Chains A and B, each alone.
Chain A
Amino acid sequence: DAGVIQSPRHEVTEMGQEVTLRCKPISGHDYLFWYRQTMMRGLELLIYFNNNVPIDDSGMPEDRFSAKMPNASFSTLKIQPSEPRDSAVYFCASSLDVSGGTDTQYFGPGTRLTVL
């Protein structure tokens, strides 16, 4: 399996622009997670989906952030408008099941976002 695929790997944009990050989870995985990693705050869970349905978006920082999962093989995280403080590495992860709390999450390589 190719693992979790994210694109782009690097994104540089200017403040106020719309940014869309993409993720393809591992085939057959029912859960998809979006994380943000910064030096100041470490790893933060933004949102996660089960069978394409958002389950918990309590980590989404504000209304400028939105995430969708139109089908089992694709998800997007959108920031509109972007701000310099959104600069971070964004990770997507997927897992088979979380109901038992024991399943491994598989992470993609991340998208490094820089907002100027």
Chain B
Amino acid sequence: GNSVTQMEGPVTLSEEAFLTINCTYTATGYPSLFWYVQYPGEGLQLLLKATKADDKGSNKGFEATYRKETTSFHLEKGSVQVSDSAVYFCALSGKAAGNKLTFGGGTRVLVKP
């Protein structure tokens, strides 16, 4: 079945540092890949997505590239802000699982001033 593995947190870094959160997946066929973000006390919201190999999703300074050869979708941001402190979830959606979202365990990021 489908599965998503992402690095465990928490990840603590200083403002303006470079952020990378690793995400790898297992899926049959060609899934779509997503990053969702959950700010404290809120629901999840879509950060970015990519629907086919080599696509790059980007939003709010975050980027992730769909790498089929390494089955990865790593999230990066060049200069984080305190407001980026949140939990980040990698997820996939594929026809083999009825197009339901399969989430990774989440990575908590804390950015200090």
Contact = CB atoms under 8 A, between A and B. Distances in A.
B42 A109 contact: yes
Contact of A43 (B46, B89, B93, B94): B89
B43 A109 contact: yes
A107 B101 contact: no
Given A42-B105, A101-B93, A107 B43 contact: yes
A42 B95 CA distance: 22
A55 B36 CA distance: 24
Contacts of A42: 103-106
B100 interface: yes
Contacts of A99: 99
B99 A101 contact: yes
A25 interface: no
A107 B89 CA distance: 13
Contacts of B77: none
A43 B106 CA distance: 9
Contacts of A45: 100-101
B32 interface: yes
A56 B98 contact: yes
A55 B42 CA distance: 27
Counting chain B residues whose Cβ lies within 8 A of the other chain, the interface size class is 20 to 34
A101 B95 contact: yes
Contacts of A91: 43-44
Given A56-B98, A105-B46, A107-B36, 19 more contacts: A42-B104, A43-B44, A45-B101, A56-B100, A91-B43, A91-B44, A93-B43, A98-B93, A98-B100, A101-B32, A101-B51, A102-B49, A104-B34, A104-B46, A105-B101, A107-B45, A109-B43, A110-B42, A110-B43
29 contacts: A4-B43, A43-B44, A43-B89, A45-B100, A48-B100, A55-B98, A56-B98, A91-B43, A91-B44, A93-B44, A98-B99, A98-B100, A100-B99, A101-B51, A101-B93, A101-B95, A102-B49, A102-B51, A104-B34, A104-B46, A104-B49, A105-B46, A106-B46, A107-B36, A107-B43, A108-B43, A109-B41, A109-B43, A110-B42
